[in-house]
């Protein structure tokens, strides 16, 4: 499932993936570009890949339970940021890994890649445990690779709950990301 979305955060209206598994390889080669500005006016460019072994993205009061992934999950998007005109030049993961350590260029890459769920979105007003998304009784044994925001269970999780989860796969982030 690419995106699992509930219509709201109520306890009676939710979306659920249950008793599911994936054994195949999942690769994202692009993502959603975004830019955020911190309170001290620091601008951060990033690419959200929304890539996961069971679902790429959970939205609202959604849940994944009793599920597993054993397939490799990868997002390969990396771009070089131009110093002069803020344009992006696609580089790709393999070329990025071969760049010399003293290269002073700025690179952005995909984030939000996980063995079970890639990225979660939420309603900040859902402060109760029952109004949050949950990931439970899951495991991942597949390797997970991306630029940043990488996890064995979830690549990016906010206002959610994870319980009874296990990761046995290798997790690799080959870049950095700052929130």
- pLDDT recorded at residue 131: 55
Alpha carbons within 13 angstroms on the beta-carbon side of residue 141 total: 7
Q: Answer whether 164's CB lies under 8 Å from 116's CB.
A: no
The distance from CA 115 to its chain's CA centroid, rounded to whole angstroms, is 9
Using one digit for the tens of pLDDT, what is the confidence trace for 156-169?
887 788 999 999 99
For the chain, what is the mean pLDDT? 79
- pLDDT recorded at residue 72: 95
Using one digit for the tens of pLDDT, what is the confidence trace for 9-47?
454 456 788 899 999 998 887 766 666 666 666 666 667
Percent of the chain with pLDDT strictly greater than 70: 72
Q: Answer whether 20's CB lies under 8 Å from 72's CB.
A: no
Q: Angle at CA 33, nearest 5°, toward 145 and 36? A: 105
Pairing of strands 55-59, 106-114: unpaired
Give the residue among 75, 116, 115, 117 at the shortest CA–CA distance from 96: 75
Phi, psi (deg, nearest 5) at residue 14? -140, 165
Point out the least confidently predicted range of 8-12, 111-115, 135-139, 164-168.
Answer: 8-12
pTM, full prediction: 0.81
| Burial status of residue 83 (CB atoms within 10 A of its CB: 0-12, 13-18, 19 or more) | exposed
Q: Which letter does DSSP use for residue 124 in this model?
A: T
- pLDDT recorded at residue 12: 47
- pLDDT recorded at residue 13: 54
Q: What is the DSSP string of 95-109?
A: HHHTS-TT---EEEE
- pLDDT recorded at residue 144: 95
pLDDT confidence tier of residue 73, bands split at 50, 70 and 90: very high
């Amino acid at each position: 499932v690419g995106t699992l979305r509930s219509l709201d955060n109520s306890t009676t209206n939710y979306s659920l993936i249950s008793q599911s598994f994936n054994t195949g390889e999942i690769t994202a080669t692009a993502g959603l570009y975004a830019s955020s500005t911190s309170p001290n006016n620091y601008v951060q460019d990033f690419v959200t890949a929304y890539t996961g072994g069971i679902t790429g993205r959970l939205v609202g009061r959604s849940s994944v339970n009793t599920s597993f992934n054993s397939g490799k999950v990868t997002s390969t998007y990396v771009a070089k940021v131009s110093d002069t005109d803020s344009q992006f030049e696609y580089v790709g993961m393999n070329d990025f890994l071969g760049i010399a350590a003293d290269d002073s260029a700025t690179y952005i890459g995909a984030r939000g890649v996980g063995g079970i769920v890639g990225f979660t979105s939420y309603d900040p007003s859902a402060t109760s445990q029952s109004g949050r998304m949950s990931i439970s009784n899951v495991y991942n044994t597949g390797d997970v690779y991306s630029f940043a925001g990488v996890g064995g269970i979830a690549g990016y999780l906010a206002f959610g709950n994870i319980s009874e989860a296990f990761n046995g796969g290798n997790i690799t982030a080959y870049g950095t990301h700052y929130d």
